[in-house]
Amino acid sequence: MGASFIVKEIIKKIIIDTATSCLKNFDVCSKDFNIEIPKGKGFGDFSTNLAMVYANKNRHSPLDVAGQLAEDLRKNTIFSKVDIAGPGFINIIVNTQFISDFVGKVLEEGTEFGSKKIKKSLKVILEFVSANPTGPIHVGHGRGAVIGSSLAKIFAFQNYNVHTEYYVNDSGRQMDILALSVIQRFNNRNNTKNSKIVGIYEGGYVDQILDEYVRAYNFKSTFELISASDCVDNEDTEKIINKLIDEAKAHLGEEFNRIREFSCAFIMRQIKNVLAEFRVNFDSFYSEQSLYNNKLVQNVINKLIKKGIAYKKDGAVWFSSTKYNDEKDRVLVRRDGSPTYFASDIAYHEIKLKSNNDILINIWGADHHGYIPRLKGAISSLGYHSDSLVVVLVQFASLIVNKKKVSMSTRKGLFKTLEDLIKEVGVDATRFFYLMRKADQTLEFDIDLAKEETSKNPVYYIQYAHARLSSVIRQSNISEEEIINFKGESLYDESERNLVFQIGNFPEIVKNAEIHRDPSIIAQYLREFANSVHHNYVVNKILVDDISIRSSRLRLAKASRFVLANGLGLLGISCPEQM
């Protein structure tokens, strides 16, 4: 039995087997009782309420049931002590040999410890980040990037066949606005008479795109955008921008499309570089425009019309999403004949489903909550299981600097880029701080705390625990093979036993992170585990003269280091050997 079959499960199996043999009709409550690791001292290593649950269902005295069960449990050699407490709790202490054997199994599994590999490898496609290529990736995208990349590592660790994908929104109006922004910046540089255009992109990156484009194509075409004179901050801004786009297209012809494509490629190149530095990598980048080029959007619309799920009304094409618990039917094709993002999203998800993926995981911003029912409905209407789509909603992360929130606006260029944040606090701190709370909870990213090199900074504290253990193992001058193969007597005090049982929880923690699609479960566990490592390091000196104690503690140190390294690795965070 591997160490990743966690200690608590081993204890539970023994209790169930014992109860089955000594209690009548035990099967009726075999899944209802709990086994916990007591927080208070003097309550053993494990405690169970089984006797009270059984007594309640069978109208027996809890203490009588506890007495009968405890008597049989004492016969198992794994347990050194079994007591009854309170109204019928059974408290259990396991023997030292069992703990030593468990530590040995952790050392054997090493970098694989914590993985409860699924028997059949399922195909998972993770789509995340997918930021519009209209500007540099900013701190608002960073949280989804870390959650997605961490989930990819967690699923791969559990033996899933994982594919990561970035959906590039390179089709549609926002790309026209980006091209317009570059053109207007060029006009402004050349003193062409133009009013300020409200609603275009204003960040400094527009200058960078323009500089590269001018060098690449010797661009010199200046002209006055007539409609720009109509721009005011509070009147028909969207309509005016549409007029400006039409004007620019009419004047520049194919040059407009080239500026559009060049700008998208420039932004995507930046995004890829920053994400790679952030340890966020993708197996593929899927172009939304390719869906139109290959007529996949029109094909799926026709398919939905043929199935009677989509219909024409008022010059538009609608999807009957109210049939799938949406609040109203949704437009697939506008009156002007242009498909909506919803139409291309349906086509994109059909491609993923046709690729025989078992699970489709999308990491979306929390503002997309209402989008889920209609997309699941579309998937179902196409003949696929809607449950195959899993959406993780990510709340916004706000930056705190000097205890004040930093405001951000993408189009006005008033935002902190992810690249800036990484440079300021480092990749490790940035990744961990994004994972300190569940995805569906708002997050305040304290930049000042992230830069501290003290125990107040959680990622520093966890990494320091790993470095501390690495240092003492190096100083021991004992080979790792000798540590693993030590066969002498092991003695564990309360602090060491608690550490072992926390190690025993790690596989369950990883499994919960997989099931709930929540890497923050691992981050929180590592904070608590690091605290126990530091405490044990202080109260139990490792490099003592007694060879048995020294070897036993080195084994525990190495097992603890595996947990820290494996946990941090799943979060994409480095494990320094010294600090």
State pLDDT tens for residues 100-125: 999 999 999 999 999 988 878 899 99
Provide the pLDDT confidence category of residue 411 given band limits of 50, 70 and 90.
very low
Strand order in the sheet with 46-48: 35-36, 46-48, 89-94, 79-85
Tell me the percentage of the chain whose pLDDT exceeds 70. 93
Question: Per-residue pLDDT averaged across 516-541, rounded?
Answer: 97
> Cα torsion for 408, 413, 419, 420, to the nearest 10°?
-70
DSSP state of 384: S
Distance between CA 97 and CA 492 in Å, rounded? Answer: 10
Q: Is 59 exposed, middle or buried (0-12, 13-18, 19+ CB in 10 A)?
A: exposed
Helix axes 173-189, 205-217, angle to 10 degrees: 80
In the sheet where 330-333 sits, what is the strand order?
310-313, 316-319, 330-333
Q: Rounding to the nearest 10 degrees, give the CA dihedral for residues 521, 525, 526, 532.
A: 170
- Output the six-digit token pair for 149: 């990349």
The rounded distance, in Å, linking the Cα atoms of 270 and 419 is 10
Q: Binning pLDDT at 50, 70 and 90, where does residue 437 land?
A: very high
Kindly provide the residue ranges of all beta strands, DSSP E only, lying in 402-515, ordered along the sequence.
404-405, 443-446
- pLDDT per residue as tens digits for the range 74-106: 999 999 999 999 999 999 999 999 999 999 999
Q: What are the distances in angstroms from CA 111 to CA 3, 430, 532?
A: 12, 24, 21
Domain boundaries, the chain: 7-94, 173-269, 454-570
Chain-centroid distance of CA 227 in Å reads 45
Could you give the residue ranges of the DSSP H alpha helices within 218-331?
237-252, 254-277, 288-293, 296-306
Q: Are 414 and 408 in contact (CB under 8 A)?
A: yes
Mean pLDDT of 444-465: 95
Tell me which of 150-154, 309-313, 492-496 is least confident.
492-496
Tally of CB atoms within 10 A around 286: 17
Residue 486: is its pLDDT beyond 70?
yes
Q: What is the pTM of this model?
A: 0.91
Residue 5 CB burial class (10 angstroms; 0-12, 13-18, ≥19): middle
- Do the beta carbons of residue 457 and residue 445 sit within 8 Å? no
Q: What's the alpha-carbon Rg for the chain, to the nearest Å?
A: 30
E-strand stretches of 341-388: 359-365
Lowest mean pLDDT, pick from 180-184, 194-198, 225-229, 273-277: 225-229
- Mean pLDDT, to the nearest integer, of 184-211? 83
Which CATH topology does 454-570 take? Isoleucyl-tRNA Synthetase; Domain 1 (1.10.730)
Alpha-carbon gap, residue 330 to 345, rounded angstroms: 13
Band (pLDDT 50/70/90 cuts) for residue 57 is confident
Architecture of domain 7-94: 2-Layer Sandwich (3.30)
Q: For residue 294, is pLDDT > 90?
A: yes
Distance, in Å, from the CA atom of 398 to the CA atom of 407, rounded to the nearest integer, reads 8
